[in-house]
């Protein structure tokens, strides 16, 4: 029996605007208009400034734990720029830049990390899900949301984000398997920032790339320089065109680096080498785009100063809105969770009591007792009918 090759593969890496602001005209010309480039730059500067403000809010006791996005702005932003407004964007917790591009208000993100439930109520019609901290869950949700769209015959794809660490969760593999076998149009974006808190990616994966994980699920895969807004936009255009046309998933590994601590509860100096951090500071996505705009002669110090003062004011206003919001109602979580609140939760919402957890009905207020009895009777009738 001869030995034959049944499968060969290669992973390509896309880089257009490198850390020295060298620009690949063949790939990059015409990809993003100058007006959009300026808007994208403004979005990154705003996101970075919010990070700095949020850090100070946490340190002064005005906010809970906060994960800085610093250094990773071009990943989610490139994706959000390419996605249609009614595609799903299903994020993790380091994708502020893309979320703001989609219209999520800054005070919503601040409220989330201040522990206010209303920060999770993503305004419609932004087609974004709330911030996910339990690693991996969001990828399954992205596959499920898009499967629902497919059943309904709606032209909608999803893009879901996760880190190098989350790429080793079982949920990741289940979501990839589910999406590829059932042919669901999801773009999987792995943000490889080389660290999962203090665990370096080299001991999390023995493979040379994360991109190749998609190969085992039959997906096209690519690696991109995630600190290069041109490369993330280029890759996302390829990925979304493919998923939309074929109704199948696609895998994009965006290589990036978090310049800050994992969260405000971490001190990365205890496990990261200062030289490594310094080398990535030079690859900052904002620095290189700034240089590119100047090379194009569409940016100068005056415009920079005007942008920075607008951003500072906008963010000060967003902080004021978040901090001056009226106290939350106890009913808020019910109202933002479901399109149609289920009957047993309506009971909880209206009476502040739970019947479903076996609470003694005699302890319920009279109105709730009546409603609980009616629910029991309805459940009994339904059960008898079967
Ligand atoms: C299921 C689960 N396990 C563990 C954690 C604790 N945890 C929070 S973030 C994190 C590291 C995640 O690293 P990565 O996926 O690379 O994302 P990054 O923070 O680098 O963006 C861990 C272990 C969690 N939130 N959820
Ligand atoms: Mg990571």
Domain boundaries in the chain? 12-323, 338-385
Q: Which ligand is nearest to the CA of 194?
A: 2
CA 188–ligand 2 middle distance (angstroms):
15
Q: Which ligand is nearest to the CA of 193?
A: 2
Nearest ligand 1 atom to alpha carbon 137: 1
Average pLDDT per 10 consecutive residues for the chain, totaling 386 residues: 93 98 98 98 98 97 97 98 97 97 96 91 84 95 97 97 97 98 98 98 95 96 98 98 98 98 97 98 98 98 98 98 91 78 80 63 70 75 72
CA 280–ligand 2 middle distance (angstroms):
14
CA 259–ligand 2 middle distance (angstroms):
11
Angle at 78 between CA 76 and CA 83, to 5 degrees: 90
Is ligand 1 within 6 A of the CB of residue 262? yes
Give bridge partners of residue 191 from the DSSP assignment: 163, 254
d(CA 250, CA 242): 8
Is ligand 1 within 6 A of the CB of residue 195? yes
Q: Which of 135, 201, 259 to mutate to test ligand 1, by most ligand atoms within 8 A of the CB atom?
A: 135
d(CA 314, CA 326): 20
CA 229–ligand 1 middle distance (angstroms):
25
The pLDDT value recorded for residue 351 is 73
The answer to pTM > 0.75 is: yes
d(CA 188, CA 219): 10
In this structure, are residues 185 and 247 in contact, taking their beta carbons and an 8 Å threshold? yes
Q: Which of 196, 205, 210, 260 to mutate to test ligand 1, by most ligand atoms within 8 A of the CB atom?
A: 196
d(CA 227, CA 327): 39
User: Two tokens at 321?
Assistant: 């809105």
CA 94–ligand 1 middle distance (angstroms):
11
CA 176–ligand 2 middle distance (angstroms):
19
- Report the nearest-CA residue for atom 19 of ligand 1: 196
SS3 108: helix
Nearest ligand 1 atom to alpha carbon 94: 21
The pLDDT value recorded for residue 62 is 96
CA 365–ligand 2 middle distance (angstroms):
49
Is ligand 1 within 6 A of the CB of residue 348? no
Q: Which ligand is nearest to the CA of 70?
A: 1
CATH code, 12-323: 3.40.50.970
Is ligand 1 within 6 A of the CB of residue 107? no
The pLDDT value recorded for residue 358 is 60
The pLDDT value recorded for residue 30 is 97
In this structure, are residues 14 and 223 in contact, taking their beta carbons and an 8 Å threshold? yes
Is ligand 1 within 6 A of the CB of residue 320? no
Residues contacting 325, CB < 8 A, separation 6+: 107, 111, 116, 118
In this structure, are residues 188 and 250 in contact, taking their beta carbons and an 8 Å threshold? yes
Longest dimension (CA), the chain: 81
CA 383–ligand 1 middle distance (angstroms):
43
């Amino acid at each position: 029996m001869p030995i034959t090759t049944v499968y060969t593969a290669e992973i390509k890496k896309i880089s257009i605007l490198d850390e020295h602001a060298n620009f690949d005209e063949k790939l990059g010309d015409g990809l993003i208009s100058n007006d959009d480039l300026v808007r994208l730059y403004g979005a990154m500067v705003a996101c970075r400034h919010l990070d700095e403000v949020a850090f100070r809010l946490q340190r002064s006791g005005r906010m809970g734990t906060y994960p800085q996005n610093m250094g990773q702005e071009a990943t989610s932003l490139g994706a959000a720029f390419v996605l249609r407004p009614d595609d799903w964007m299903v994020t993790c917790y380091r994708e502020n830049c893309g979320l703001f591009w989609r219209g999520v208000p800054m005070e919503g993100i601040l409220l989330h990390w201040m522990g206010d439930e209303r920060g999770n109520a993503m305004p419609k019609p932004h087609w974004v899900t709330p911030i996910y901290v339990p690693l991996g869950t969001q990828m399954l949700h992205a596959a499920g949301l898009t499967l629902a769209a497919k059943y309904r015959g709606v032209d909608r794809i999803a893009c879901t984000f996760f880190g190098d660490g989350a790429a080793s969760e079982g949920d990741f593999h289940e979501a990839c398997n589910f999406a590829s076998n059932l042919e669901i149009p999801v773009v999987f974006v792995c943000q490889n920032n080389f660290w999962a808190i203090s665990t370096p990616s080299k001991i999390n994966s023995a493979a040379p790339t994360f991109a190749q994980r998609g190969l085992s699920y039959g997906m096209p895969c690519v690696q991109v320089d995630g600190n290069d807004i041109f490369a993330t936009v280029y890759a996302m255009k390829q990925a979304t065109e493919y998923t939309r046309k074929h109704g199948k998933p696609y895998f994009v590994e965006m290589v990036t680096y978090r310049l800050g601590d994992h969260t405000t509860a971490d001190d990365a100096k205890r496990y990261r080498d200062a030289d490594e951090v310094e080398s990535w500071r030079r690859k900052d996505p904002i620095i290189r785009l700034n240089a590119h705009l100047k090379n194009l002669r569409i940016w100068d110090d005056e415009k920079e100063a005007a942008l920075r003062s607008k951003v500072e004011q906008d963010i000060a206003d967003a902080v004021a809105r978040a901090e001056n919001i009226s106290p939350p109602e106890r009913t808020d979580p019910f109202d933002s969770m479901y399109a149609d609140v289920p009957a047993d939760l309506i009971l909880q919402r209206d009476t502040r009591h739970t019947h479903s957890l076996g609470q003694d009905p005699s302890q319920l207020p009279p109105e709730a007792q009546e409603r609980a009895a009616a629910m029991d009777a309805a459940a009994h009738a339904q059960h008898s009918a079967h």
